[in-house]
Structure 1
């Protein structure tokens, strides 16, 4: 439900500023979990930028320009990208099934990005693909992170993302104060939902599930996320159902499924399990 909700809020709030508000709320609520200061502070800062500030800035920019239904499908390309990066940096071995899955996923995303009549790409979905790439780099960096509690890491990600997001928003956006003054309970309720139920509850529970269960069991369940987001976008935001969405989305989700059900042999050992975005 989070991406359609964010898409709805971004219509009235500058996207990077909204991302800053989300991480401000996250940092405040998780402030009791800040101690101790991470030993690998520089690495945590890099991870925070990848899975926090930079990732969400690009994602929210994409949501302003593209339908939530398309954004949630293109965002799934993160898992194949993680696998590709694992091949180059972690020497992950990939056989034909995951190779086929990556090809299908990338082909589906390209089909959704490309605009044949204009010989160009949809800029909103390009932002989302870039966000997925940055988030994947964060996952690879987490392989080098010593064991750290999930809430401790999330607290520092929130804190470290505030200044960059608000700083970029100050220089590139306008209307922030007006958005705050005109913000009603729907806006603040949406931000509270994103912070409490998505970032704190949802992501923390997901980390625990990955630690407890085989990823091949969880993978089919995680694919319910784009299905729910697409359905919500269509029925609540009245987003169009296009042939490109159906074909490109089908290829992408099929490819992601093939990649996900073949467990990554290298990444499961990193500090807090897989990164879940959105």
Structure 2
């Protein structure tokens, strides 16, 4: 990999990490309702990529299901989860999407997993459970359970996406935006009274965060990522994107004052080691895993 392309990948990972922390700031500190925030993000993305909405790929029903799972369902669970969890721990738990996709590919597509990748899967789950566990209350964190559910929704969508052919990146983003904005807006209208006033009260900082998440993250960073995936081996790119949870942890501790004790350090190390093993050994399922990376940030 050239130094320039490595620098671009580092920039992409930093953008994703910043967005993880920024999303937590929006829904917790700014007090913008999470479903409303997600709806506005998808609306802005849709406006920017509307020309790519048609002609619609076939079968349309499968694309709609994939777009809902990786858009509305995923982001609703993730943003609500972030109101209750730290961005550092959420970044680690989101890595469950990688082994979940592999396991679902075994069940739904009949793919096989060798023992080394099986070790990676086990380590990822063990590390995530270590991060999620609350030793004081002997209970799993509710916020991180929602984040794990978000990862699962994205994994199901990724497996179904493998059966779609000929869908271009901007076309896919257009359909994610189109299918996601309506249910999120409806749910926000029912469950989040006063959401417009809260967003207006947050003022221009919220507007800046919204523009960053929609334009810089969804369009710029993801587009650069697609270019790098086409230029280099997927295993190399996917392994290097582990910089994202590491940077999220660092930013979460520095900016949001996330607690980072021994349990968090051990759990993060175990989970990320498991993902790295999967990345090094992965071959057949990486087209799906790349889709997870592109939906999750």
Taking structure 1 as the reference length, the TM-score comes to 0.95
Describe how 1:238-277 pairs up with structure 2 within 5 A.
Answer: 238-268=257-287, 274-276=291-293, 277=296
Displacement, 1:141? 0.5
Gaps of 5+ in 1: none
Displacement, 1:219? 2.4
Displacement, 1:171? 1.7
Counterpart pick for 2:235 among 216, 220, 240 = 216
Residues 43-95 of structure 1: CA distance to partner in whole angstroms, max 9, x if unpaired? 11101111100000000011110000111111011011111111112222211
Task: Say yes or no: does 1:5 pair with 2:22.
Answer: yes
Q: Which runs of 4+ in 1 moved over 3 A?
A: none
Displacement, 1:266? 4.4
Counterpart pick for 1:96 among 115, 121, 139 = 115
Q: Indicate if the aligned counterparts of 2:122 and 2:274 stay in contact, CA closer than 8 A.
A: yes
* Greater shift in the superposed pair: 259-268 or 5-14: 259-268
Kindly indicate which of the two structures has a greater share of residues assigned to helix: 2
Q: Indicate if the aligned counterparts of 1:143 and 1:267 stay in contact, CA closer than 8 A.
A: no
- For 1:175, the equivalent position in structure 2 comes to 194
**Counterpart-to-counterpart distance in 2, 1:54 and 1:205:** 25
**Counterpart-to-counterpart distance in 2, 1:273 and 1:256:** 13
Query: Per the alignment, in what secondary structure is the counterpart of residue 32 of structure 2?
Result: coil
Q: Indicate if the aligned counterparts of 1:107 and 1:252 stay in contact, CA closer than 8 A.
A: yes
Gaps of 5+ in 2: 1-17
**Counterpart-to-counterpart distance in 2, 1:244 and 1:173:** 35
